[in-house]
């Protein structure tokens, strides 16, 4: 059995986050000692490791909850898990595309400002104040 501190140390998940995952139903409620301290088993540690890795990959709490529910039926087809992963990949690609558009626009804005003038003539300030100064939709 593991204390919540040990679970945190082993997974890198902060103690309040572990409590949050328990409250959200991602982790089963921990057993309690006579002193009311939480105690987790190996299955809880494995689940928390799964959750941490999924969060590191950007999966939402809802998607993780769905993956956990799917995982409770290991003999079923993996189409549901595959769909969730494909959706996450599409979301990551969309965010990357947006970040690339931001990079292009910010590069252009920064290049237009030498930093030598005054703020009333600053290209950065003008671009931030009026979206019409931007060349792309971002």
Find, among 51, 79, 48, 47, the residue nearest to 63 by Cα.
51
Choose between 68 and 123: higher pLDDT.
68
Name the DSSP letter for residue 34: T
pLDDT, tens digit (0-9, with 9 covering 90-100), for 42-90: 999 999 999 999 999 999 999 999 999 999 999 999 999 999 999 999 9
pLDDT of residue 136 exceeding 80:
no
Confidence (pLDDT) at 114: 81
DSSP output for 35-72: T--EEB-HHHHHHHHHHHHHHHTT--HHHHHHHHHHHT
Determine the angle formed by the axes of helices 79-111 and 61-71, rounding to 10 degrees: 160
């Amino acid at each position: 059995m593991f204390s919540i501190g040990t679970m945190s140390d082993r997974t890198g998940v902060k103690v309040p986050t572990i409590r949050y995952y328990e409250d959200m139903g991602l982790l089963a409620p921990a057993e309690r000692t006579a002193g009311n301290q939480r105690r987790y088993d190996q299955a809880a540690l494995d689940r928390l490791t799964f959750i941490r890795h999924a969060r590191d990959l950007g999966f939402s709490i809802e998607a993780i909850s769905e993956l956990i529910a799917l995982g409770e039926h290991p003999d079923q087809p993996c189409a549901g898990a595959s769909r969730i992963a494909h959706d996450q990949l599409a979301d990551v690609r969309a965010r990357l595309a947006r970040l690339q558009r931001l990079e292009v626009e910010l590069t252009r804005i920064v290049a237009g400002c030498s930093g030598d003038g005054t703020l009333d003539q600053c290209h950065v300030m003008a671009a931030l104040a009026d979206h019409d100064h931007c060349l792309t939709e971002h």
